[in-house]
Structure 1
Amino acid sequence: MNHKIIDTLEFAQIKGRVAHYLVSAAGQRELAALMPATDYQTVQDWLTETTDGADILRLEGGLPLPKLADIKPQMKRLKIGANLNGTELAQVAKVLQASRSVQNFFEQMREKKIKLRVLEQTVDRLVTIPSVTTRLVRSVDPDGRINDEASTKLHGIRQLINKTENEIRQQMAQYTQGKSAKYLSEPIVTVRNDRFVIPVLARYRNKFGGVVHDQSASGQTLYIEPGAVMEDNNRLRQAQIEEKQEVLRVLAELSALISPYRHDILNNEQILGHLDFINAKASYAHELKASLPLLSADNQVNLRKAWHPLIARDQAVANDIKLGGDYQAVIITGPNTGGKTITLKTLGIIQLMGQAGLFIPAQEGSTIGVFDNVFADIGDEQSLEQNLSTFSGHMENVKAILDQLTARSLVLLDELGAGTDPKEGAALAMAILDEIGQWGSLVMITTHYPELKVYGYDRAKTINASMEFDQATLQPTYRLLLGIPGRSNGLEIAKRLGIGSAIIGEAQSLVSDDSQDLNAMIGDLVEQRKRAREEGDRLAKLVAQNQADQEELNQKLDRFNEQRDRLLERARSQANHQVAQAKRKADRIIHHLRQLEIQQGAGVKENQLIDAQGALNALHQDNPRLQHNSVLKRAKAKHDLHKGDAVLVKSYGQHGELLSRRGNHKWEVQIGILKMEIDERDLEKVAKRDLPKDDRKQPSHRAVKTTQTRKTSARLDLRGHRYEEAMGELSNFIDHALLNNLGTVTIIHGKGTGALRKGTQQYLQSNPRVKSFSYAAPNAGGDGATIVNL
């Protein structure tokens, strides 16, 4: 990539903004050497690293890197056997500490299941030296001071120094606080020539023995070391000399300790600098609200809502810029101050940023190419004096570009052909565009020449474009309009600025009709394009609102389905609970009947059976949804019970009379000579005319007659039933046979495994109402059936 384009498009300013986020000297070096790459895979790798950095910044707040100094000079000194000072050792220690902390940081990200693309492999190249790092951190402070813990001898020497200094200060206190204080210019203790002294007024010099180490500028004060502390000062000075010698020995030891690892340490510094550089690129992308560009292998550029990164986001106008694919050349025409030049610069700087591994100031999904060179000849007429941008200067730049052109180049030319005769300039511009087109390079130019509008219309793979102007105010909107050539608004602008109408009219008469018609056509196209864009914006907002409404409806539907499922699950749970309760109650009733059979021996009394059956029927739950059913309403009249009504006890087919209500849902019923408490759901009111003749009169004493409750057969077939089900059927069958006065019944249990036969016989043996039982005759089933006498 040529260096001139870096200056022309102000790429150095972009690098300067990235530099604000760097904390390491190695990162600064890498940024300083950064140039846009021209290899597709290199650009892709750089962008992938920046994507990892952006993910770390978004999820973890960035990499935990401290400020790191340049340690290359230190490593060179170690190579020749020199010793490092405390500050240099502290800088090396910080690199080793940062290496360890970065590795720990990435380990924690792995534990959090945060997936990265390439940076983990980079971090794995870091070499941690735990023993050396620990020794350096323990021995050297971050500011370079050697700690007491660096060696046992140093610790002892410094303790001696502290003790001696305290003793000297205590002795000096008698001069600064006692009677001698009046001979001092100030009651303080200070240091001269590394020895403790006191400031004595010159006229009282003989009041103190000792040595004079200094005097004030006026000569009125002498700094005297009293004779009483000279021995302690000597001892202190000796300890200080030993301290310096021990510090030098420790520095030599630590330098020798890290010298074998200098290559690893340098490698760590480079890796940390690279991570710092990636973190800075990600931070700048976050500040700029930039996005990851997609790379086009055939150099198709499609920038969506792109803006110039050096213009504040709230002031920049975003444009869609397309180049490549359907057309190789874009010709932007129109008057000055409309934004043509900044559009060229926006395309160029975005290409440089993307090829340097930076995110670009454009919406997600934008595509850039990978060009082997980006060439530009751009002169900003708004900021240059008119005679500084000469035709010859432009032609020299164009010649240099044509000499280096390839099929993978991008060319940006501002005001091509300007500075000479318009006819010649237009012709030259078209010839240059033809030459660039033969190379297959992509090119975007700006021009004022109307001839190039026709060129853009006639040439293959060439398209006109312009910067939109508001026709009402004649102010630029800075929006790029692809497919529409620019209209010259010179006369309208002059009129708005106050040029007389006579002059404007004369100028219009001098402009050819064809030119006026072309301008009118362009103006109409611009106006249609503006209306279409406004309508598109309105529809986009409407679509966005509909999508938001649809998403809200989907969320509400999801919540409704979740709530419905919860209610259904709760209903199932409650139903299962009720079923379980009913089953437990039924089991208790059956168990109670079994106990009665065992205790009474002679069998269960009829009223006990009726009570038990009533309790079982009470477990039935009516469905409340059927309460308003018209059929049930007609049937409900049969259950409108009152005292004295004739009723049928449904469970056993017995007729009786209601005597009184017991509780909310039970009645006392007279059945023959028995009085029983029956649940009202087991009762059905009947007309007395429907009673059997014997029941219409109710004598005070008569036997209870049983009516067949169901068409009871004298035969029960248990084959194909499960064991528990079969035993339940057998018990019910025997009960109904007894109630219907059957003397002999047959139980068909089959042969099979013998389980049903054995269970049947065990039940018959335990039932006291069974007189006897035996297998059927061979021609009637043999041992597959049992004849029971009741």
Structure 2
Amino acid sequence: MIEKRALKTLEFDKIRQQVAQFCTSSIGKSAIEELVPETDYETVVALLEEMDEGLSILRVKGNVPMGGIFDVRPHAKRAQIGGMLSPMELMEIASTIRASRILRNFIEDLEADETITIPHFIERKEQMPVLTALQHEINDCIDENGGVLDSASVTLRTIRQSRRAEEAKVRQKLESLTRGANAAKMLSDSIITIRNDRFVIPVKQEYRGHYGGIVHDQSSSGQTLFIEPDAVVQANNEVQRLKVKEQAEIERILLALTVKVEEVGHDLFVLVQLLGEIDVILAKGKYGQANKCTMPKMNADGYIRLVRARHPLLPIEEAVANTIEFGRDVTAIVITGPNTGGKTVTLKTVGLCTLMAQSGLPVPALDGSELTVFEQIFADIGDEQSIEQSLSTFSSHMVNIVDILSKFDDKSLVLFDELGAGTDPQEGAALAIAILDEVVDYGARVMATTHYPELKAYGYNRPSVVNASVEFDIETLSPTYRLLIGVPGRSNAFEISTRLGLKTNIIDRAKSFTGTDRHEVESMIASLEESRVRSEREAEEAHGLLEEAKYLHEQLTERIRTYDDKKESLEKKAKEKARKIVDDAKRDAEAIIEELRAMKKNAASAVKEHELIDAKKRLEETAPQDNKVLQKVAAERNRAQNLAVGDEVKVISYGQKGVVLEKASNDEWVVQIGILKMKLPESDLQYVKPEKEQQTRAMANVKNRGSLVKLELDLRGERYEDALLRTEKYLDDALLANYPRVSIIHGKGTGALRQGIQSYLKGHKRVKSFRYGEAGEGGFGVTVVELK
């Protein structure tokens, strides 16, 4: 368990107070007030998963029905030891059971929703005892205001009816007295009132003997007496008797209900516990929503990475966010720099975020943050001067540090604020270094702040330690509270004094008193700061260019995709139309050819000339009428093919092969197709190379082209658009050369060119797969492409 001292020093109690405000029941508030960080990794992960489920429910539903819940454990305990519960206590029990039933139904509805996963809530729902029968029994007897209903029992209804009848008689008799002839003179007021639970009338002092009866009270002046006249004494006695009887019946009913409660006392304890846990989980989620927190990823490796983390106790609009990372190669951060710069706030931010995560709370940081589970957290922060113990600031700090050094281990987070302060600077710095060495060498995670200049070089001499500082704006003479990892803080006394108007000769003299080593260190730090500012500016510019390039790439990719889709659609439609035309023509041609064959078989019987002419004409008419584009393309091609007698050709309009017999005219040839001789235009003929010639020419073409295409394409230094165009052409050449595999060299750089090339490869139809190069092939700077 984390020590209470660390919880107090880091002000974890204030975090609990803020979270408790989001609870809807006293049960949840009490649980939050006792909330402490867990030290078991599995437990912490489960707590955060529960909280994340609560956040998911709040995001989807907006709210969860948690009204009407009371801490009824004391009531159940009193019932178990034989006490009688009051109507109000019974009403609270019924209300709590009703609230659990509504919540159970709510979770069951969520369980049926496939868009959300809530196993922890479902588990608690299934553990909830079902006590609906007890709720109905109580509601049948007790109303919402804690009154016992007439319907609680037949006997109670009868008694109350009799009591009301007797009260009506008493009122009737007293009203007749207040309306009498002498009433205005003898009575202080014509009203009926109650004293000592009996009906009376206000009589003036001097007329007390007129009505007789019993005096129950008098006014402060003594002039008015509240008298129960003799005429109603017996009736009032009857009312009192019925009231006693009524109270006895009520007690009997309450005892019977108390026995029912006692029978399910254990179930009530379980129910209240589960409702309290759910209230706590939802309160954590609501706190996270209100403070823009996220769920960190947890590890058991001592690694901390807080992305743009804020101090949880500072207003969101005022807190400066910082990214803090350490715990693997670097196990310690030493923050140097002047006071009031935000060093302590940074320390507390890490400590509080760790405590919050280990308590199942979201942390005020961006997504991607990661924290570890520590078994102990130690903090030496603030002015611990103790007058009672006659200890100075240094002594008080040292007492605390000695205690820390006796307890910490490699699974501890140790936070030192102004380590070694309050004593001689040289000795204090030496102690600080020795203490840090002790903790760092043991393997603990450490964050320490100091204003000693000797510790500025501490991080440079130890590989597991890194320097840091809080930025100071010389122009405004104020800290920016930004944490600078890797840059030690430097004194700005000379610069501040110059801006405030201190004479130059005084500043120069002061500089002469500082040692050469110190001056060199300050110059080094100043150079580091300048480099950091320049790097940040260049990084921002590069990021802007990268975002612009990404946008342009997305636009270009979308246009190419749209073009390809449209092109493919048009080609598909054209091919389908052409296929249909050709199929129809084939069917007609085949029918005519069959008819001609039949004529040939029947040659014995004379075949008339006009029948042959008619068949030939119909055969010519089967040529597709919508093939003008194909014929035009064929004509362009045939200009270079120089047809000759004996050439084998393909008749485009019929889809049949034939042999050229003779030239009929400038643009017409006589072609033998099977048994038919036809005169056809040259534009309808396509030269067909003999099979052996085709194979020879294809091999020669591949050989010639392959000798010109390299096995790798170097794109280093190319602009993005030029690189894409070169890649497209290169892949076409490689495919024509029948290369099964090629390499594209794009370099490592920022990765933008690599991502663009690989995005293009994903959409290429002839790319089978691609991968990064092996160690001997160029690694991440090369993409190896498999072609198909």
**One fold, TM greater than 0.5?**
yes
Q: What CA distance in whole angstroms lies between the structure 2 residues aligned with 1:105 and 1:9?
A: 38
Distance 1:426 1:213, change over 3 A: same
Q: What CA distance in whole angstroms lies between the structure 1 residues aligned with 2:107 and 2:72?
A: 24
Q: Does 1:116 align with 2:129?
A: no
C-alpha offsets along residues 306-355 of structure 1, whole Å, 9 cap, x if unaligned?
A: 01000001000000001111211111111111111110110100000011
Q: What secondary structure is seen at the aligned counterpart in 1 of 2:339?
A: coil
The Cα of 1:555 is off from its aligned counterpart by 9.8
C-alpha offsets along residues 171-204 of structure 1, whole Å, 9 cap, x if unaligned?
A: 4334445542343222322100111112121123
The Cα of 1:397 is off from its aligned counterpart by 1.4
Aligned-partner residue type, residue 466 of structure 2:
I
Q: Identity over aligned residues, as a percent?
A: 43
Using the size of structure 2 for normalisation, the TM-score is 0.68
Check conservation: 1:48, 1:117, Cα contact below 8 A: no
The Cα of 1:229 is off from its aligned counterpart by 3.2
Distance 1:541 1:93, change over 3 A: farther
Show the counterpart of 1:253.
Answer: 256
The Cα of 1:498 is off from its aligned counterpart by 5.0
The Cα of 1:500 is off from its aligned counterpart by 4.5
Check conservation: 1:62, 1:279, Cα contact below 8 A: no
C-alpha offsets along residues 753-773 of structure 1, whole Å, 9 cap, x if unaligned?
A: xxxxxxxxxxxxxxxxxxxxx
Matches within 5 A, 1:530-609: 530-537=533-540, 540=543
Distance 1:166 1:503, change over 3 A: farther
C-alpha offsets along residues 132-176 of structure 1, whole Å, 9 cap, x if unaligned?
A: 121012212344222222212222322333344344434433444
Q: What CA distance in whole angstroms lies between the structure 2 residues aligned with 1:332 and 1:544?
A: 34
Match of 1:213 among 212, 216, 221: 216
Q: What CA distance in whole angstroms lies between the structure 2 residues aligned with 1:158 and 1:566?
A: 89
Matches within 5 A, 1:399-414: 399-414=402-417
Q: What CA distance in whole angstroms lies between the structure 2 residues aligned with 1:366 and 1:288?
A: 16
> What is the CA RMSD across the aligned residues, in angstroms?
3.6
Q: What CA distance in whole angstroms lies between the structure 2 residues aligned with 1:200 and 1:563?
A: 106
Show the counterpart of 1:94.
Answer: 95
Q: Does 1:289 align with 2:292?
A: yes
Show the counterpart of 2:268.
Answer: 265
Q: What CA distance in whole angstroms lies between the structure 2 residues aligned with 1:476 and 1:490?
A: 13
Aligned-partner residue type, residue 459 of structure 2:
G
Show the counterpart of 2:3.
Answer: 2
Aligned-partner residue type, residue 337 of structure 2:
G
Q: What CA distance in whole angstroms lies between the structure 2 residues aligned with 1:408 and 1:134?
A: 54
Distance 1:558 1:268, change over 3 A: farther
Show the counterpart of 1:738.
Answer: none
Aligned-partner residue type, residue 427 of structure 1:
A
Distance 1:367 1:110, change over 3 A: same
Show the counterpart of 2:361.
Answer: 358
Q: What secondary structure is seen at the aligned counterpart in 2 of 1:285?
A: helix
Q: Does 1:430 align with 2:433?
A: yes
C-alpha offsets along residues 285-316 of structure 1, whole Å, 9 cap, x if unaligned?
A: 11111000001221110100001000001000
C-alpha offsets along residues 17-44 of structure 1, whole Å, 9 cap, x if unaligned?
A: 1111223343233223321111110110
Q: What CA distance in whole angstroms lies between the structure 1 residues aligned with 2:157 and 2:553?
A: 74
Q: Does 1:368 align with 2:371?
A: yes
Show the counterpart of 1:277.
Answer: 280
Q: What secondary structure is seen at the aligned counterpart in 1 of 2:466?
A: strand
Aligned-partner residue type, residue 433 of structure 1:
L
Matches within 5 A, 1:369-408: 369-379=372-382, 390-408=393-411
C-alpha offsets along residues 411-450 of structure 1, whole Å, 9 cap, x if unaligned?
A: 1111111222222222221111111122111111111222
Check conservation: 2:494, 2:507, Cα contact below 8 A: yes
Q: What CA distance in whole angstroms lies between the structure 2 residues aligned with 1:390 and 1:278?
A: 41
C-alpha offsets along residues 524-566 of structure 1, whole Å, 9 cap, x if unaligned?
A: 3223323433454565567667778988999999999999999
Show the counterpart of 1:680.
Answer: none
Show the counterpart of 1:637.
Answer: none
Q: What CA distance in whole angstroms lies between the structure 2 residues aligned with 1:420 and 1:193?
A: 78
Matches within 5 A, 1:61-460: 61-113=62-114, 114-177=116-179, 179=181, 180-379=183-382, 390-460=393-463
Q: What CA distance in whole angstroms lies between the structure 2 residues aligned with 1:398 and 1:25?
A: 39
C-alpha offsets along residues 559-585 of structure 1, whole Å, 9 cap, x if unaligned?
A: 9999999999xxx9xxxxxxxxxxxxx
Q: What secondary structure is seen at the aligned counterpart in 1 of 2:264?
A: helix
**How many residues of Structure 1 are paired with residues of Structure 2 in the alignment?**
579
Q: What CA distance in whole angstroms lies between the structure 2 residues aligned with 1:82 and 1:563?
A: 84
Q: What secondary structure is seen at the aligned counterpart in 1 of 2:406?
A: helix
Q: Is 195-204 or 316-325 further displaced after alignment?
A: 195-204
Q: What CA distance in whole angstroms lies between the structure 1 residues aligned with 2:527 and 2:96?
A: 66
Distance 1:27 1:410, change over 3 A: same
Q: What CA distance in whole angstroms lies between the structure 2 residues aligned with 1:492 and 1:372?
A: 44
Distance 1:188 1:506, change over 3 A: farther
Show the counterpart of 2:25.
Answer: 24
Matches within 5 A, 1:491-530: 491-497=494-500, 499-530=502-533
Check conservation: 1:53, 1:62, Cα contact below 8 A: no
Distance 1:27 1:560, change over 3 A: farther
Check conservation: 1:335, 1:490, Cα contact below 8 A: no
Q: What CA distance in whole angstroms lies between the structure 2 residues aligned with 1:567 and 1:224?
A: 109
Q: Is 132-141 or 532-541 further displaced after alignment?
A: 532-541
Distance 1:274 1:201, change over 3 A: same
Using the size of structure 1 for normalisation, the TM-score is 0.67
C-alpha offsets along residues 96-118 of structure 1, whole Å, 9 cap, x if unaligned?
A: 22222221111121233332132
Check conservation: 2:191, 2:201, Cα contact below 8 A: yes
> Which 5+ residue runs of structure 1 have no aligned equivalent?
573-624, 632-790
C-alpha offsets along residues 640-665 of structure 1, whole Å, 9 cap, x if unaligned?
A: xxxxxxxxxxxxxxxxxxxxxxxxxx
> Which is higher, the Rg of structure 1 or of structure 2?
1
Distance 1:214 1:558, change over 3 A: farther
The Cα of 1:523 is off from its aligned counterpart by 2.0
Q: What CA distance in whole angstroms lies between the structure 2 residues aligned with 1:527 and 1:63?
A: 53
Aligned-partner residue type, residue 421 of structure 2:
A
Check conservation: 1:66, 1:98, Cα contact below 8 A: yes
Q: What CA distance in whole angstroms lies between the structure 2 residues aligned with 1:65 and 1:274?
A: 12
Distance 1:197 1:434, change over 3 A: same
Distance 1:526 1:281, change over 3 A: same
The Cα of 1:282 is off from its aligned counterpart by 0.9
Q: What secondary structure is seen at the aligned counterpart in 2 of 1:239?
A: helix
Aligned-partner residue type, residue 157 of structure 1:
I
Aligned-partner residue type, residue 77 of structure 1:
R
Check conservation: 2:384, 2:397, Cα contact below 8 A: no
C-alpha offsets along residues 581-610 of structure 1, whole Å, 9 cap, x if unaligned?
A: xxxxxxxxxxxxxxxxxxxxxxxxxxxxxx
Distance 1:166 1:421, change over 3 A: same
Q: What CA distance in whole angstroms lies between the structure 1 residues aligned with 2:151 and 2:237?
A: 26
Distance 1:354 1:550, change over 3 A: farther
C-alpha offsets along residues 229-271 of structure 1, whole Å, 9 cap, x if unaligned?
A: 3343233222211111111000111011221111111111111
Aligned-partner residue type, residue 19 of structure 2:
V
Aligned-partner residue type, residue 431 of structure 1:
A
Q: What secondary structure is seen at the aligned counterpart in 2 of 1:392?
A: helix
Q: What secondary structure is seen at the aligned counterpart in 2 of 1:38?
A: coil
Distance 1:545 1:34, change over 3 A: farther
Distance 1:242 1:273, change over 3 A: same
